[in-house]
Amino acid sequence: MRSWKISLVLINENDGSEMPATIFEKATYKLHPTFGDRETQVIKKPPFKISEEGWGEFDMRIIVSALDKGGDHELSHDLNFQQERYEAEHKVTFKNPKPNLLEKLKESGPVGGGGEENGVKSKRGDESAKKRKRSEKGVDMEKLAESLQRLGEEDLLQVVEMVHNNKTADTYTKNDVEQGEFHVDLYTLPDSLVRMLWDFCVEKLGS
């Protein structure tokens, strides 16, 4: 029987030092099914340490949940006993983190670039201009948002597929598997996709 433990830390990009992983609010460890009632363990405080014992090696899933609804990020960790102590480095990417999470991220190194605060490219400043532009094309963004919420489950699945197939690098989406929710910022969609969604809603719900 072997005893082992795992903890999570951040690496400071400036000097390579270890930092508390305060950007996460919890870590969910998914162990081998042979652990029975201990197969799933949720730790809610840094360094998110888990201590266990067992005989075998296995691939472990670690789901880290970011602050401010920054999403769940899955890490795959190879638990083995080839060395007494070893480290595994994982990269987690955040798109459009909220202010509190953004400040925490800045503590471990540079965030974004080109003066684009929060990686949003000053999106909020020109939302009204985008809205006017799309209204002129016959797309009322507020009405589109309301229409999407009125669609049935099967129609919503088609909407999700359309977004995935036609989104661009600037499109912001978030798939919250735990809550069974899919979020998308309509103002980050390309014009062609907005038009496609509008026509789809008109077809399903009427004008």
- For the stretch 168-183, pLDDT in tens is 877 888 776 566 677 8
Q: Is the pLDDT of residue 90 over 50?
A: yes
**Tally of CB atoms within 10 A around 80:** 12
H/E element, 145: helix 141-150
Q: Is the pLDDT of residue 114 over 60?
A: no
H-helix segments, 67-113: 99-106
- Mean of pLDDT over the chain: 82
More confident site: 136 or 97: 97
pLDDT given at position 207? 62
Region 37-63 average pLDDT? 93
Q: Is the pLDDT of residue 121 over 70?
A: no
Of 3, 42, 16, 29, the residue nearest 108 (C-alpha): 16
Q: Is the pLDDT of residue 53 over 80?
A: yes
Of 80, 63, 52, 78, the residue nearest 24 (C-alpha): 63
DSSP summary character for residue 119: G
Angle, vertex CA 97, rays to CA 93 and CA 100, nearest 5: 125
Q: Is the pLDDT of residue 116 over 50?
A: no
Q: What percent of the chain has pLDDT over 70?
A: 84
Are 190 and 166 a contacting pair, CB within 8 Å? Answer: yes
As a whole number of angstroms, the distance between CA 99 and CA 103 comes to 6
Q: Return the biggest CA–CA distance within the chain.
A: 69
More confident site: 195 or 41: 41
pLDDT given at position 56? 84
pLDDT given at position 3? 92
What pLDDT, in 10s, does the model give residues 26-39?
Answer: 999 999 999 999 99
The encoded tokens of residue 7 equal 């903890």
